[in-house]
A and B are shown apart, each in its own frame.
Chain A
Amino acid sequence: MPDAQISDKSPAAAPVPEKPPIPQAAAPKSGGEKPETESNMYPVGIAGVDIHQSRRDVPEGEPPPLAINDQLKSIGKPTPRVDGRAKVTGAAKYTADVKLPGMLYARMLTSPHPHAKIKSIDTSAAEKAPGVKAIHLLDHTFGMAQEKGEEGNKYPLVRFAGQPFAAVAADTQQHADNAARMINVDYEILPFVTDIEKAKQNDAPLVFAGQAEQKGTAGGGGGPAGLSQSGNVRGPAKGGNKQDGGIDDAFKDADVVVETEYHTSVQTHCALETHGFVADWKPDLLTVWASTQGTGSVRDELAAVFNLPKSKVRVITEYMGGGFGAKFGASNPGVLATHLSKKAGAPVRLMCDRKEEHLGTGNRPSSNQKYKIGAKKDGKLVAIQCTNYGTAGVGTGAGATAVAQNIYPCPAIYTEDYDVFTHAGPAAAFRAPGHPQAAFGFEQSIDELAEKLGIDPLALREVIDQSEARSVERKIGAEKIGWSNRKPAGSDAGPVKRGIGMAQAIWYRSSNRDSHCEVRITQDGSVELLSGVQDIGSGIRTVLAQVVAEELGLKPSDITIKIGDTSYPNGPGSGGSVTTNSITPVARDAAWKVKQEMLKQIAPKLGARADDLTLADGKVASKSDPSKGMSFKAAAAKLDTEQIAARAQRVQDYPVTEDQQQQQPQLAEGGGQRRRGRRGAGSGGLGGVQFVQVAVDTDTGVIKVEKVVAVHDCGRPMNPLTLTSQINGGIIQGLSYALFENRILDRNTGLMVNPNLEQYKIAGAKEMPEIEPIVIEQYWGRSSTDAAGIGEPATVPTAAAIGNAVYNAIGVRVRQTPMTPAAVLAALAQKDSSNGRSA
């Protein structure tokens, strides 16, 4: 399948399908059709495997079908970032870098206790401290579950160490830091619980005395509403097709049953730029620079908290230093910065420090997953049951059953997720919420099932997996990693043992209809795109330039991309891997519309018909008479007005018929492939398969990941260069999660013992394996670009694949993350003792 892929090793080698299709607009169907749609033929399928034409009825005014990447000039070509120069010279301005005239610096005050009642707060000394301009106390803590009936208290109840409730603004950071320490708080210290098993017990201190709920963000996270709550245990949130009973009976049909258990640690996001805001309150406009994944989400929350019309709040995110799901809304630092600016009458900068970032701005919840999986002798699944307990601290959303629910069809699936409240910082959406932990448990369990069945893990997945994309991906990856040379588990001689493993991803192709942009052409020949969407590092700025360049026959560097500002048309929040899917069709639609207008105005001046003109290679040219033409710049100069512009908004995914869905299940909306959409425009499944080679030193317990082959799909690949960077990143975060990361709370003090970046270990240069990211090119005919996201699927299977590789190396399962040397040695010792040998 070598021609089905785009590899970063040979980015120029575009795939060549056997029969290059040339999409053509078909004549609208006559009679009985709704007048507002037109019917076109779209390429559908996987390049290098099969691409055929499929009919779609699309809204009128949509651009014509886009050819496959092979036939395009900008889209699908490896394109260096348009903002690369700004980033390598230090010129790129992040929120942390914003400095306004008269700007004040703020510091939050956070609780040193995990559970306490604030009896009084004395700010008198802090008010007199040098340089202090404003102090604000919160009556309510954002970003955590809220207990019903608790509103209206003077001070919030402290429920985790690190909970913010006040902030000081002063002329320098040092003055603000000093003054924050001078605020005198009288705490009534209360009993606490940070250990999940203790928290489940009846006599455990209660985190919430009454019913508590937490809403998710645009990035996901948060638990379902209205679940029952008993003590600190909330749930279950039920999933699967046997929620009303019958799962036990289903196992009677199984020839083989495996029962497994996996545990994952709490991971913190560790974005290098902390959560932070610069708020500038003016009577007629609140302007806020925010390190956020959703400019609109910050605007919306501040407008609600301060009772402002959304039009009076402007949020700017020119560059942001990583979010990974945790940066939505204003939350405590954004609200505090705004209060302080309002009080002080000056702009206020509030950046969390590293400790605050670890403690209070989000994390990936823990999980304790128990599986029971039944199958026939040939591998066909008959029943899947999963019960998971996790803690999202003072938040909700510790679900880890989505992979079991959604990845493989099965006649009987029943899952239960329980949130266990503990006195610990709240979880937040974290790159594929719930999925890396779920894959770690479920995809290793599938390997355990394969072993019990005596079937190769890859062969078993051929039986149980209906995804066409993953089937192609397995073949590519297996060849690259040398799967056929894979040895029996634990069969290497000597202390260092090598192993190969694999695991699969599921993610959801979804988009946000609240995605808008405007494309402008000006008489000087300049072209710009404006949208509120923000570039969180994935490279959407560059992809938007490619899309507009493609449509206008220009180079990406010719296009000025102005994004990350709510003054521009609404952009989607960047969570759920929706950005590319949401905004690239909009960019193409707007560019196409403004092109039509330009050609209409230019045609008479060229003595040609508008529909006979094309834009390509920086020129306007007549298709029928090549002598008629001029440069894009010369044509722009002949526009009737100084500027022309077009707006577009994300349309619903192009509908597919039931027949088409049956032929290609991944076209289906919803189905087995769930996505809690927020103003969603449609969804379907994404795949991804990763293969890993490890070396495990059985004397020291050290796992070294040597090689990763990652084969992914995300519809039409837009920019293979930035796309494969994101895949690398997903793998590296997954590796880090699998081997190193663990938020450790001292159960005796309730404090985090490693709130920094040396004892909270994340993967560094020395731990890097050789990584080969490969992207297949898949078309669904569902939007004008047919693109989808990659950020999340790329991190879903990594820890699971490492787990399976470790098992293949040493013949024993390490059933937890992080798979530390101690955990490896303990697992080996247990195996030895169960074999009757001394450890």
Chain B
Amino acid sequence: MSNRTDRGGLSRRGFLKGAGVAAATTALLDRSVEALAQENKESRSVVGPGAVAITLKVNGQHKDFQIEPSATLAEVLRVHADMTGTKIVCDRGSCSACTVWIDGKTVCSCMTLAMDARGREIKTIEGLAQGEHLHPVQEQFIEHDAMQCGFCTPGMIMSCANLLERNKQPTLDDVKQACSGNLCRCGTYPRVFEATLAAAKQMKGGNGNA
């Protein structure tokens, strides 16, 4: 991989870090190809090194940042936006703790350059509840104790809530599939399954807000 000059100035940090990582390769290539196409369309000029100004739309709000072009979305959310609900655990796309939604799809924000998230709708754990009103998945995570230390919880919830966006009547296997990339070391998975299935039921009953 050459860097910077021939590719819009973007240091492919995520790509370099993840290249050769079997588990993450497919998703990674998808994103990289997509991102490359986007960049080529937008500009071939060199960006960085040094901070550049970008605007991201996070939880419906436009926010301006001065960031290194190599910064991942996870870093920008946590360090620049002070939104620390999104966790960094492996920093290479193998644990899903950093899961956010981009244009309605789950992505690992540690594998996504912030630059690539420009012009997209980013949703983080902080934006899932509507004001004081928790998302049904959040409510049921509390009710079913689908957390222990809680460090995987935001990513886990983003994966499970996203499933319910796509599938209103998930089976147990659907839930397992949806959070199959989310690692939990405390071993809370059975409660995550219960909570998500309960949330699906709650949303079907019309009590949900999503």
Q: A residues within 8 Å of B by Cβ?
A: 80-81, 83-94, 96-97, 99, 173-174, 269-273, 319-322, 324, 353-354, 536-539, 721-722, 725-726, 728-733, 736, 756-758, 762-766, 768, 771
- Specify which chain B residues have a CB less than 8 angstroms from the CB of A273 in the assembled complex: 87, 89, 149, 151
Q: In the bound complex, how far is the Cα of B84 from the Cα of A91, in angstroms?
A: 8
Nearest CB of A to B119, in Å: 24
CB distance from B205 to the nearest CB of A (A): 20
Are the CB atoms of A88 and B187 closer together than 8 Å? no
- Do A725 and B145 have beta carbons less than 8 Å apart? yes
Query: Once the chains are docked, how many angstroms separate the CA of A270 from the CA of B185?
Result: 7
Evaluate contact between B187 and A85: CB separation under 8 angstroms: no
| Residues on the B chain within 8 Å of A736, using CB | 187
The answer to whether A354 touches B180 (Cβ under 8 A) is no
Interface string of B140-157 (1 = CB under 8 A from A): 011101011111111001
Question: Which 6 pairs from chain A and chain B are nearest by CB?
Answer: A90-B85, A732-B187, A537-B149, A321-B151, A729-B187, A84-B142
- A728 / chain B contacts, CB cutoff of 8 Å: 187-191
Q: Is B47 among interface residues, defined by CB-CB distance under 8 A?
A: no
- Pick from A81, A97, A272: contact of B152, CB under 8 Å: A272
- B90 interfacial contact with A, CB 8 Å: yes
B188 touches A99 (CB 8 A): no
Nearest CB in chain A to that of B21: its residue: A758
Q: Which residue of A lies closest to B78 (CB)?
A: A97
**Contact across chains for B97 and A89 when beta carbons are under 8 A apart:** no
Tell me which of B2-10, B31-39, B101-109, B124-132 binds A.
B124-132
A92 → chain B closest CB, angstroms: 6
A481 to B120, CA, bound (A): 51
Contacts of A270 in B (CB 8 A): 185
Cβ–Cβ < 8 Å partners of B129 in chain A = 89
A80 touches B143 (CB 8 A): yes
Interface residues of B in 75-127 (CB under 8 A from A): 75, 78-79, 82-92, 94-95, 97, 124-126
- CB contacts (< 8 Å) of B83 on chain A: these are 90
A722 — nearest CB in chain B belongs to which residue? B145
Contact, CB under 8 Å: A731 / B187: yes
Q: Which chain B residues numbered 141 to 190 have a C-beta less than 8 Å away from chain A? A: 141-143, 145, 147-154, 157, 175-177, 179-190
CB contact under 8 A between A725 and B191, given known A85-B134, A88-B147: yes
A144 to B70, CA, bound (A): 37
The answer to whether B143 touches A729, judged by C-beta atoms less than 8 angstroms apart, is: no
Point out the residues of chain B lying under 8 angstroms from A732, CB to CB. 187, 189
Check A321–B149 contact: CB distance below 8 A.
Answer: yes
A89 touches which one: B95, B134, B152, B189 (CB < 8 A)? B134
User: Nearest-CB distance from A87 to chain B (Å)?
Assistant: 4
Residues of chain B within 8 A (CB-CB) of A85 are 134, 142
Residues of chain B lying within 8 A (CB to CB) of residue A173: 75, 79
Q: Which of A81, A84, A539 has the most CB of B within 10 A?
A: A84
Contact A764 B84 (CB under 8 A): no
Measured between beta carbons, the chain B residues less than 8 angstroms from A764 are: 180-183, 189
A87→B145 contact, CB < 8 A: no
**Nearest chain B residue, comparing its CB with the CB of A322:** B149
Do A322 and B151 touch across chains, with their CB atoms under 8 A apart?
A: yes
Distance from B181 Cβ to chain A, minimum over Cβ atoms (Å): 8
A353 CB contact (under 8 Å) in B23, B84, B91: B91
Nearest B residue to A82 by beta-carbon distance?
B142
Complex CA distance for A420 and B183, rounded to whole angstroms: 32
B1 at the interface (CB under 8 A from A): no
Whether the Cβ atoms of B188 and A354 lie closer than 8 Å is no
Task: Give A99's nearest chain B residue, CB to CB.
Answer: B82
| Complex-state Cα separation, A91 to B127, whole angstroms | 11
B residues near A722, Cβ cutoff 8 Å? 145, 148
Q: Does B22 sit at the interface, judged by CB under 8 A? A: yes
CA distance A189 to B110 in the complex (A): 36
Q: Within 8 Å of chain A (Cβ to Cβ): is B203?
A: no
The smallest beta-carbon distance between A187 and chain B, in angstroms, is: 26
Q: Are B149 and A757 in contact (CB under 8 A)?
A: no
When the two chains form their complex, are residues B95 and A81 in contact, meaning their CB atoms are under 8 A apart?
no
Cα distance A93–B78 in the bound complex, in angstroms: 12
B111 to chain A, nearest CB (A): 12
Evaluate contact between A94 and B138: CB separation under 8 angstroms: no
| Residue from A81, A85, A89, A722 with most neighbouring chain B CB atoms (10 Å) | A89
Q: Which residue of B lies closest to A86 (CB)?
A: B150
Smallest CB separation, A97 vs chain B (Å): 4
- List 10 other contacts, CB 8 Å, given A321-B87, A354-B90, A758-B94: A80-B142, A90-B126, A94-B151, A174-B68, A539-B145, A725-B148, A729-B148, A729-B187, A756-B21, A766-B177
A87 partner residues in chain B, CB cutoff 8 A: 141, 147, 150, 153
Q: For the complex, is B193 an interface residue (Cβ under 8 Å from A)?
A: yes
5 residue pairs bridging A and B, Cβ less than 8 Å apart: A90-B85, A272-B151, A322-B149, A733-B187, A764-B181
Q: Are B92 and A721 in contact, CB atoms less than 8 angstroms apart? A: no
Most chain A CB within 10 A, of B84, B91, B188, is at B84
CA gap between A601 and B180 in the complex, in Å:
58
Complex interface: chain A residues within 8 A of B149 (CB)? 271-273, 319-322, 536-537
The answer to whether A766 touches B176 (Cβ under 8 A) is yes
Considering the complex, give the chain B residue whose CB is closest to the CB of A725. B145
Determine the chain B residues whose CB is within 8 A of the CB of A90 once the complex forms: 83-86, 124-126, 154
B94/A756 in contact, CB under 8 A: yes
Q: How far is the CA of A269 from the CA of B89 in the complex (A)?
A: 13
Give the chain A neighbours of B179 by CB distance below 8 A.
765
- The closest CB in chain A to the CB of B142 belongs to A84
Query: How distant is the Cα of A80 from the Cα of B142 in the complex, in angstroms?
Result: 6
Query: Contacts A85-B142, A270-B185, A766-B180: A758 and B148 contacting too (C-beta < 8 A)?
Result: no
B88:A96 contact, CB within 8 angstroms: yes
Closest Cβ of chain B to A101, distance in Å, is 12
**Who on chain B is nearest to A87 by CB?**
B150
Q: Is the CB–CB distance between B183 and A757 below 8 Å?
A: yes
Q: Is the CB of A88 within 8 A of B185?
A: no
Check if B198 is an interface residue, CB within 8 A of chain A: no
B87 touches A765 (CB 8 A): no
Tell whether B192 is near chain A: CB-to-CB under 8 Å: yes
Is there a chain A Cβ closer than 8 Å to B54's Cβ?
Answer: no
Question: In the complex, which of the residues A271, A538, A768 contacts B185, with contact meaning CB atoms closer than 8 Å?
Answer: A271
B52 nearest CB across to chain A (Å): 14
**Residue among A85, A319, A536, A538 having the largest count of chain B Cβ atoms under 10 Å:** A85
Q: A728-B188, A729-B148 are in contact. Are A88 and B134 (CB under 8 A)?
A: yes
A124 vs B177: C-alpha distance when bound (angstroms)? 51
Contact check, B145 vs A272: say whether CB atoms are below 8 A apart: no
B134 x A272 contact (CB < 8 A): no
Chain A nearest CB, measured from B197 CB (Å): 13
Q: Tell whether, in the assembled complex, residue A756 and residue B85 are in contact, meaning their CB atoms are under 8 Å apart.
A: no
Partner of B141 from A84, A97, A757 at Cβ < 8 Å: A84
Q: Which residues of B contact A725 (CB under 8 A)?
A: 145, 148, 186, 188, 191
CA distance A272 to B185 in the complex (A): 7
A757 to B24, CA, bound (A): 11
